Structure 1
Amino acid sequence: MTTVYISGHRNPDTDSICSAIAYAYLKRISEGINAIPVRLGPINRETKFVLDYFGVEEPILIENVYTQVQDIKFDKPLVFKENTPMFEAWNTMMEKNIRTITVVDEENKLIGIATMGDLAKAYFSSSHSSHELSKYKIPIENILTTLKGEVILKYVDYLYGNVLVSAMSKENVLSRIKEGDILIVGDREDIQLAAIQKGIKALIITGNNSLQDEVLKLAEQHKVTIIKVMPDTFDTVKLLNQSIPLSYIIKKDDLVIFRTSDYIDDVKEVMLKYRYRNFPVVNEEGKVVGLLARRHILDYERKNVIMVDHNEFSQAVEGIQQARILEIIDHHRIGTIQTDQPILFRSHPIGATATIINRIFEERGLIPEPKIAGIMCAAILSDTLVFKSPTCTPEDVRAAKKLAEIADIDINQFGNEMFKAGTSLEGKSVEEIFYTDFKEFTINNYKIGIGQVNTLTDPGELKQDLISFMEKVKKDKGYDILLLMLTDIINEGSEILFVGNNKELVQRAFNVEIKNNSFYLPYVISRKKQVLPPIVKAINSH
């Protein structure tokens, strides 16, 4: 199922957060898509009050929408344990036409990888001589699996040491046997008895031949492991080579591994340095989840994003240029956004994004559940300052009243509680206050930042600290104009703090005199409708 991230703007306010949640809910119930609301920063006190009041979880925090390995389709891994015989791995690779395997421990964490070439090399090097097998410690289980064997006597779990084949005279065979060797032999009872007497460790009886009682008793006395196998002696030698555990074949050191959280741009850079066909992919726990090849990153799906309550790159999540924007639902001026394909862009000159989302609910004949209706109502009350903002429209009022009825809340009582919770500056740092509700705009190459704080009390000495902080922000981030609106909701006015190199332009915009980096605008409570437009007009006429 396609995942779609629904995101409000940076430094999110109540409308941004609640609209993302509500629209994700709408998408899930009406279209059945995996819509996930996300936030780009910490929620403010007002929003926390709203979410807690209605029992709604806050959206997950994301830092960017750059495409990650987990966002693209890669191959399912062919996974084996380290004791798996080469025979089993080779046959599975041939059957599934896969050229690279991953080998894991008991917790499914990656130990190493091997290619078809690695297995072929190991097979041919060990098949030159049965003595080569002395380098390997082969689990009994591997021999049983590979040679369709049966254990007659078992005193060890692994076979290791020199392997001899009884394909010559008895005297010749016995002259070569040393204590601890492994002998592959057919139905030659005389050699079997003599080999046991000479101290061999194990007998591999080929051709599914039966074992004489005398041999069995002697083997028990000397604690000799005996395995009976189906193939003849020639095939047994060949297949025994394929019983070698993968742990001896795999590449364990200097592995180039990608995690599901790695970004595709970083992956591309790494791939250019290596000529490997496949790269293992592990999750955050180190468990293997796939194999990644160059073809997977040539034409990958970008992350799907729906933007609500904003339409400018400067306010969007980092990496938005690399994402696939599906929709924009907004109520602000149209800014600098560009897309590489047609999208649904829905913009209405009303007080809150949540009002637009309410309209979409109505168009689809759907009614939000009470807690979703509650947060949508709260978003409208927040953005319209309980209908006092000049941005408020009759549709905002109608939508809020309808949603309040569904949520079973009293608008005035709830609004007062919400603003009381949200306007307290107690315990907040200067940075937290400044970025409570901050937006950035670019107007004719002017970089402008406007923050807004609703407060029922005079900030007092905090003003100078805020101005000092703003000076630092202006210098660090290169703003031409930086404003902070200290909005009194009850008395309907805003004291505005200013820093920047364009004092005359701001004074002209609002027809005021700026003293001590501050000026007051009565009846001005909307950044969108009463603060930004005069600045835009002043810049355009400059």
Structure 2
Amino acid sequence: MGEVYVFGHRNPDTDSICSAIAYSEFKNLTEKEDSYVPVRLGSVNRETQFVLEYFSVPVPALMENVYTQVSDINFDGPVNINKNASMFEAWKEIINKNVRTINIVDDDGKFHGLATLGDVAKVYLESSSGFSKYEVPVMNFVKTLNGEVLVSKKEEIFSGNIIVAAMQMDDIRRRIKKGDLLIVGNRKEVQLMAVKSGIKVLIVTGGHDVEDDVLAAARENDAMVIKVPYDTFDTVKLINQSIPVRYIMKTEDVVSFRLDDTIDDVKETMLKYKYRNFPVLDSQKRPVGMLARHHILNYSRKKVILVDHNEKSQSAEGIEQADILEIIDHHRIGCPETEQPIVFINRPVGCTATIILDSYEKRNIVPSKEIAGLMCAAILSDTLMFKSPTCTSEDVRAAKLLAGIAGIEIEKFGKTMFEAGTSLEGKTEEEIFFTDFKEFRIGDYKFGVSQVNIFYNSPEPLKNRLIEFMEKMRSEEEYDFLLLMLTDIINEVSEFLFVGNHRELIKMAFGVDVEGNSFILSGVVSRKKQVIPKIISAINSIS
């Protein structure tokens, strides 16, 4: 079962957010193979925030792009081992899990380095007369040598010399120093002498029992006693495997990937480095997998459904890499490209939610009170409470039906919603401009039109600041021109703020002379039906 992401356009409005939620709910009720998840491509505006809070529906998660990422690849699971674990434990993991590379992590599971089969095998071929250059948890000896603790003490770290009692008593006494580790068989006199001399660890080989007076002396002198089943020769050979794996891990020139890295970046990196495996880390830097070259030969692209838009410039970053399953929209058809035939519903109604209600009705499904409320709000928003020329009888019928299910009065709710959404208090020029901004590329022209609904005339200083912001944006992003519609919903009039060098085109489109940086069009409230078509017509006439 995979996830399908449902989203509207960038700089989402109420229809874009609410329709994504409503259609996801419909698909989850009617389809069981996948899980449909509503997401957003930008911040929700105040109007939409009001609607979501009114119906107690959470804000959809933000999706910054739909590029194919490492998280979309079926990579291998990780083999992680603590940095203080022994070589013996590392070797067992490598053999049992049949891997060649393991991740070394700290106590919090965060990545510290890598160890390979070759790194661990090398230690197996080495012998050591002491651990003075290592810090070894004493419990590593117990695990590596399959030992039994006869005298325990709090967990400690051993770092010192290893003495093997394979000589005369006097020779052993001369060699032993305080803090050493002694390996000895069933030689009681050596055991007693050693613990009284201050050794830190006594390892008794051959599975021999240790007499009580030796154990008592060990407790008195703060020495740990471990009984192991191996003979002295094998114990000496195996003890080297108690060294913590962190001493052999690679920490330099280690290349790792994050779950949100794109497939293009992964391919480019793999060309530079010829490593066999690459660790995959989550946002907390914890290893969650291992990625190899063969994994990137076959992967699944993100599955998406577009609502309230169909143009690439208005959709998510990386949409060309996504697998578009459906498009539900009420705008002009731009340039969608898909590899397979898809469901594409595009109808000349005032709101996407009107189309989505039709899907519910065809399956005899009554939306919940919350979903009905969201769809009704979307219709009221997009049709400006039925005043927009884009509004159809279908929108009116749908809104009234949904209002009944949601238990709201259209006039009262709509006015409260618009009042909540039109306040510009506390907003920056950037926030205002991008409340509902759309970019268009028609012929050789690149332009953008933003729309903000207001209940009152905006003060001149704010307009001047908006024009300055628009001019800067036009220059930096190389737009031919930019428009900002300040739409008075009640009086059905829009004031346009304009920046650019194509005043003749604007005059051709709307029949007005642009003096300064603004002009007013009475009766114009719809960007989609009353503004964009006229600009396109003017561009085509010039071309």
TM-score by length of 1: 0.89
Matches of residues 211-226 of structure 1 in structure 2 within 5 Å? 211-212=210-211, 225-226=224-225
2:19 is aligned with 1:19: yes
Q: Is the 8 A contact 1:177 1:195 kept in 2?
A: no
Structure 1 SS opposite 2:112: strand
Structure 1 Cα separation of the partners of residues 397 and 112 of structure 2: 63
Which deviates more from structure 2 when the two are superposed, residues 144-153 or residues 510-519?
510-519
Residues 475-525 of structure 1, C-alpha deviations (whole Å, 9 max, x = no match): 332222433333333333333343333322332233344334444433332
Instruction: Label 1:111 to 1:440 Cα distance change in 2 as closer, same or farther (>3 A).
Output: closer
Residues 168-202 of structure 1, C-alpha deviations (whole Å, 9 max, x = no match): x6479648733345443334556556766877654
Q: Is the 8 A contact 1:170 1:191 kept in 2?
A: no
- Which residue does 2:76 correspond to in 1? 75
Percent identity, aligned pairs only, is: 58
Residues 363-387 of structure 1, C-alpha deviations (whole Å, 9 max, x = no match): 2222211111111001111111222
Q: Is the 8 A contact 1:166 1:173 kept in 2?
A: no
Matches of residues 451-462 of structure 1 in structure 2 within 5 Å? 451-459=450-458, 461=460, 462=462
- Which residue does 1:279 correspond to in 2? 278
Residues 420-439 of structure 1, C-alpha deviations (whole Å, 9 max, x = no match): 33333444444433333221
Structure 1 Cα separation of the partners of residues 408 and 342 of structure 2: 36
Instruction: Label 1:474 to 1:211 Cα distance change in 2 as closer, same or farther (>3 A).
Output: closer
Structure 2 Cα separation of the partners of residues 484 and 304 of structure 1: 34
Q: Is the 8 A contact 1:309 1:330 kept in 2?
A: yes
The gaps in structure 1 that reach 5 residues or longer are none
Structure 1 Cα separation of the partners of residues 464 and 188 of structure 2: 103
Instruction: Label 1:227 to 1:398 Cα distance change in 2 as closer, same or farther (>3 A).
Output: same
AA matched with 2:229: M
Q: Is the 8 A contact 1:102 1:113 kept in 2?
A: yes
Which deviates more from structure 2 when the two are superposed, residues 384-393 or residues 39-48?
39-48
For 1:139, which of 120, 134, 137 is the aligned residue?
A: 137
Residues 131-166 of structure 1, C-alpha deviations (whole Å, 9 max, x = no match): 155544443322222222223345684554333445
Structure 1 Cα separation of the partners of residues 479 and 340 of structure 2: 31
Structure 2 SS opposite 1:70: helix
Q: Is the 8 A contact 1:177 1:198 kept in 2?
A: no
AA matched with 2:27: K
Instruction: Label 1:53 to 1:173 Cα distance change in 2 as closer, same or farther (>3 A).
Output: same
Structure 2 Cα separation of the partners of residues 161 and 315 of structure 1: 67
Structure 2 SS opposite 1:346: strand
Structure 2 Cα separation of the partners of residues 25 and 427 of structure 1: 34
AA matched with 1:361: Y
Instruction: Label 1:149 to 1:541 Cα distance change in 2 as closer, same or farther (>3 A).
Output: same
Structure 1 Cα separation of the partners of residues 215 and 454 of structure 2: 94
Q: Is the 8 A contact 1:377 1:404 kept in 2?
A: yes
2:123 is aligned with 1:122: yes
Over the aligned positions, Cα root-mean-square deviation in angstroms equals 3.0
Structure 2 Cα separation of the partners of residues 502 and 203 of structure 1: 90
Matches of residues 35-114 of structure 1 in structure 2 within 5 Å? 35-114=36-115
Structure 2 SS opposite 1:15: helix
Structure 2 SS opposite 1:63: coil
Shift of 1:313: 1.2
Instruction: Label 1:178 to 1:47 Cα distance change in 2 as closer, same or farther (>3 A).
Output: closer
Instruction: Label 1:397 to 1:186 Cα distance change in 2 as closer, same or farther (>3 A).
Output: same
- Which residue does 1:259 correspond to in 2? 258
- Which residue does 1:526 correspond to in 2? 526
The gaps in structure 2 that reach 5 residues or longer are none
Instruction: Label 1:196 to 1:312 Cα distance change in 2 as closer, same or farther (>3 A).
Output: closer
Q: Is the 8 A contact 1:88 1:146 kept in 2?
A: yes
Residues 222-268 of structure 1, C-alpha deviations (whole Å, 9 max, x = no match): 66543221122232222222222223332345543433344443344
Structure 1 SS opposite 2:129: helix
Structure 1 SS opposite 2:203: strand
Which deviates more from structure 2 when the two are superposed, residues 507-516 or residues 7-16?
507-516
Q: Is the 8 A contact 2:165 2:172 kept in 1?
A: no
Structure 2 SS opposite 1:532: helix
Matches of residues 237-386 of structure 1 in structure 2 within 5 Å? 237-253=236-252, 255-386=254-385
Residues 16-41 of structure 1, C-alpha deviations (whole Å, 9 max, x = no match): 12111212222333325433322223
- Which residue does 1:480 correspond to in 2? 480
- Which residue does 1:402 correspond to in 2? 401
Structure 2 Cα separation of the partners of residues 193 and 510 of structure 1: 105
Structure 2 Cα separation of the partners of residues 117 and 134 of structure 1: 24
Structure 2 Cα separation of the partners of residues 212 and 499 of structure 1: 95
- Which residue does 1:445 correspond to in 2? 444
Residues 101-152 of structure 1, C-alpha deviations (whole Å, 9 max, x = no match): 2222222223332111111112212x2xx41555444433222222222233
Q: Is the 8 A contact 1:174 1:194 kept in 2?
A: no
Which deviates more from structure 2 when the two are superposed, residues 212-221 or residues 420-429?
212-221
Structure 1 SS opposite 2:316: coil
- Which residue does 1:503 correspond to in 2? 503
Q: Is the 8 A contact 1:118 1:249 kept in 2?
A: yes
Structure 1 SS opposite 2:325: strand
Q: Is the 8 A contact 1:373 1:404 kept in 2?
A: yes
Structure 2 SS opposite 1:64: coil
Shift of 1:350: 0.9
Structure 1 Cα separation of the partners of residues 415 and 219 of structure 2: 91
Aligned residues: 538
AA matched with 1:177: R
Instruction: Label 1:450 to 1:207 Cα distance change in 2 as closer, same or farther (>3 A).
Output: same
Q: Is the 8 A contact 2:163 2:176 kept in 1?
A: no
Instruction: Label 1:186 to 1:316 Cα distance change in 2 as closer, same or farther (>3 A).
Output: same
Q: Is the 8 A contact 1:179 1:201 kept in 2?
A: no
Structure 1 Cα separation of the partners of residues 489 and 244 of structure 2: 75
Residues 394-441 of structure 1, C-alpha deviations (whole Å, 9 max, x = no match): 211111111010001111222222223333344444443333322111
Structure 1 Cα separation of the partners of residues 18 and 193 of structure 2: 86
TM-score by length of 2: 0.89
